[in-house]
Chain A
Amino acid sequence: MVPLENYLVLSAVMFSLGVYGVLARRNAVLVLMSVELMLNAVSLNFVAFAAYLDPERITGAIFAVFVITVAAAEVGLALAIVIRLFRNRATSNVDEAAMMKW
């Protein structure tokens, strides 16, 4: 079978791509998509660790369920904010949403 390292490297690659996307992209929706990539990498790590190291093989999956719940809430709220921003400022560029910047 596939060793645990493979899953860890896969999720590390996904997480790093997500970090790059969050930092480099200017469109708020694209930033959000990169955040989704990072969240998925983290849940994959949870589940992989649970499957290999937890005798019950299940706690990590429960954590992943909670991660998915919080991610769903986050996506709903963030997209509402993006739509609001677009309505008020006619842009979805995060660089231009600097009203609260000191």
Chain B
Amino acid sequence: MATEVLWWIFAVATVLLSAGVVFSRSVLHSAIFLIGSLGGVGAMYVFLTVDFLALVQFLVYGGAVTVLILLALMLTRTDAKESLNGTQAPWAALAGAMLLAILVSASVAVKWPGDIDDAPTTIPLETISEKLFVDFGPPFVIASVLLLVALVGAIILARQEEGE
């Protein structure tokens, strides 16, 4: 029961913070809302008994990604008088609302089997590492190469060139 109450608190907070990201009138506020929203998703991972993923979420998103975004916000300048939304915003709201209606009705209509009550224990780290490094070994290597190439590319793109 207590878990359920906690879940609802975190779920409502996550939704409100996510709404803050897309509806906020200040870029910096959006970024701060994003930190909270990603933290809320991390809390959801704890509820789903994948503590390792929650840790990764807090480290990578709460730390690295939001710092990168804040840095980019500081390096670029936004005109405070200009509206952050384009003229297409009503259509975007329509598209979002329609997608939301479809997704919610689909996920409520289906009778999902299974319950987490059967095995509520935390997944041990050994199981995750075995799955990640043995069963998903090749994709893991490819993903690390992708990350390396992307970050080297980012450095080359953002570098100040001679005569600039």
Contacts and interface: CB of A to CB of B under 8 A. Distances in A.
B95 A80 contact: no
Nearest to A7: B44
Contact of A66 (B34, B72, B112, B139): B139
Interface of B: 3-4, 7, 11, 14-15, 18-19, 21-22, 27, 30-31, 34, 37-38, 41, 44-45, 47-50, 52-53, 56-57, 60-61, 64-65, 68-69, 71-73, 75-78, 82-86, 88-89, 91-93, 95-97, 99-100, 103-104, 107-108, 112-117, 119-120, 123, 127-128, 131-132, 135-136, 139, 143-144, 146-147, 150-151, 153-155, 157-158, 164
30 contacts: A2-B7, A2-B47, A6-B7, A7-B44, A12-B100, A13-B15, A13-B18, A14-B14, A14-B18, A17-B15, A17-B22, A23-B88, A23-B95, A26-B83, A26-B84, A29-B73, A33-B34, A37-B18, A48-B44, A51-B49, A53-B112, A56-B127, A58-B128, A61-B52, A64-B53, A68-B61, A73-B151, A76-B150, A76-B154, A83-B158
